[in-house]
Amino acid sequence: MKSFVATTLAATSMAVSVEHQKEFEFMSHIAKWGNDFKTLEDYTARFARWAEVDAFIATINHPDSGETHRAGHNKFSTFHEHEYEKMMTLMADQAPEDDEPQTFELFKHSEERLGATPATMDWRTGGCVTPVKDQGSCGSCWTFATTETTETAYCQATGTLLTLSEQQLVDCCTVYNGCNGGNYPKAWEYITENGQMLESDYPYVAADGVCSYNASQAKVTIPAIDGNSSTSIGNYLIRNYGTPEEIMAGVSIRPAAIAVNASGLRFQTYETGVLNNCTNTQLNHAIAMDGYDSTASVPYYQVRNSWGSSWGDNGYILLGMTEGNAKGNCGVQQDVDYPNIGANWTN
């Protein structure tokens, strides 16, 4: 029988070994992502944060967790919470009036879409979706949701896929605050009034800058219909919401800009599968929805983020559908809109 001292030494050795193993994994992580921590205090704090994230990932991925998605480390694993939150700067355009579902503008004119909606949709297969982009450390998510849906709508109308400039919206759509926040409805209005330049003519720098708009280089102008530059599928009153059937009917026409709550480790560490049990619905992040699958074992919305292809499932996240008039996982069913489309596009 082992002595008490021998047993204690073995347990201590095992604890030290586990701690060393975790630090080795942490060092491998920071080497992979090119992190450079200047002081011991910063290194120690980042290691503690990474360990917290690592423990959360283990909980999600445990076989008995009941989760329908898988979590993993990514470039945000050493971010302190306030650093991560800086990328979520969605601004509310309109104060909520009540907590009841609204009559969606799309279906005032197109209620037949509800009976003709495909069960699945993936707009990436149509050649009208640009590759996943990366907003960097600038809180410009709203410009990416605006631009990506405009690119696809224009491609659907003309057959030409252009890569448009988010930086133009950051610098020139002054009704909003650039890297410090905005939203897509008035950004579409800006494009209607001014047109949007190509990314190649107005490159993204992930920082606020001086407006360098050149009207002669504007390639796309959204033709407003009935005085509006966007169509609301969900409704961007924050507390209002749509059903999966209504949202699918809209997204079957074209990809939509949407709002979600991206705070917390559940969203941050998403890797693959369908994310459910995301109960925070206070909207703070703009992204794009370009597909869905209502026939999957866990029905989902296919959502394209602007954090680069290294995050999530090659830049995407699948958010589980919530039946009825519910706010949805991470609030996904509250705010679903896309730019209007007409016959007279400029190019």
Active site residue 344: no
Active site residue 305: yes
Same domain, 210 and 128: yes
Same domain, 57 and 96: no
Q: Distance (Å, rounded) from C-alpha 42 to C-alpha 62?
A: 30
Worst-scoring range by mean pLDDT, 36-45, 233-242, 302-311, 332-341?
233-242
Domain for residue 344, yes or no?
Answer: no
Q: Is the pLDDT of residue 347 over 50?
A: no
Given 128, 138, 141, 155, the catalytic residue: 141
Count of domains for the chain: 2
- At residue 158 the predicted structure's pLDDT band, cuts being 50, 70 and 90, is confident
And the tokens for 160? Answer: 């030409």
Report yes or no: 301 and 336 within 8 Å, Cβ to Cβ. no
Say what the pLDDT of residue 6 is. 45
pLDDT by residue (tens digit) across 48-59?
999 999 999 999
Same domain, 25 and 134: no
Domain for residue 186, yes or no?
Answer: yes
Domain for residue 73, yes or no?
Answer: no
What is the average pLDDT across 234-258? 73
Same domain, 104 and 18: no
- At residue 161 the predicted structure's pLDDT band, cuts being 50, 70 and 90, is very high
Report yes or no: 258 and 306 within 8 Å, Cβ to Cβ. no
What is the share, in percent, of the chain residues with pLDDT greater than 70?
A: 80
Q: Is the pLDDT of residue 13 over 90?
A: no
Same domain, 37 and 88: no
DSSP designation for 136:
T
Domain for residue 346, yes or no?
Answer: no
Domain hosting 314: range is: 83-339
Same domain, 34 and 109: no
- At residue 142 the predicted structure's pLDDT band, cuts being 50, 70 and 90, is very high
Same domain, 131 and 200: yes
Q: Which of 66, 92, 110 is a domain's end point?
A: 66
pLDDT greater at residue 246 or residue 5? 246
pLDDT greater at residue 11 or residue 327? 327
Same domain, 99 and 182: yes
Given 29, 69, 73, 285, the catalytic residue: 285
- At residue 126 the predicted structure's pLDDT band, cuts being 50, 70 and 90, is confident
What is the average pLDDT across 278-303? 96
Say what the pLDDT of residue 206 is. 96
Q: Give the residues across from 225 on adjacent strands.
A: 228
Q: Residue 210: which CATH number?
A: 3.90.70.10
Say what the pLDDT of residue 224 is. 66
DSSP designation for 130:
P
Given 74, 240, 305, 329, the catalytic residue: 305
pLDDT by residue (tens digit) across 179-218?
999 999 889 889 988 999 999 999 999 999 999 999 999 9
Q: Distance (Å, rounded) from C-alpha 142 to C-alpha 185?
A: 10
Active site residue 141: yes
pLDDT greater at residue 164 or residue 234? 164
- At residue 93 the predicted structure's pLDDT band, cuts being 50, 70 and 90, is low
Say what the pLDDT of residue 340 is. 72
Residue type, 188: W
Same domain, 46 and 121: no
Domain for residue 74, yes or no?
Answer: no
Single pTM value for the model: 0.87
DSSP designation for 215:
G
Question: Tokens 């693959």 appear where?
Answer: 272
Name, of 2-6, 7-11, 224-228, 284-288, the range with top average pLDDT.
284-288
- At residue 253 the predicted structure's pLDDT band, cuts being 50, 70 and 90, is confident
| Structural element, H or E, at residue 120 | strand 120-122
Say what the pLDDT of residue 107 is. 40
Same domain, 113 and 192: yes
Same domain, 225 and 178: yes
Domain for residue 71, yes or no?
Answer: no
Say what the pLDDT of residue 18 is. 62
pLDDT greater at residue 110 or residue 19? 19
Domain for residue 218, yes or no?
Answer: yes
What is the average pLDDT across 105-117? 53
pLDDT greater at residue 217 or residue 347? 217
Say what the pLDDT of residue 140 is. 96
Compute the mean pLDDT over every residue in the chain, rounded to the nearest whole number: 85
Domain for residue 78, yes or no?
Answer: no
SS3 call for 165? coil
Same domain, 44 and 126: no
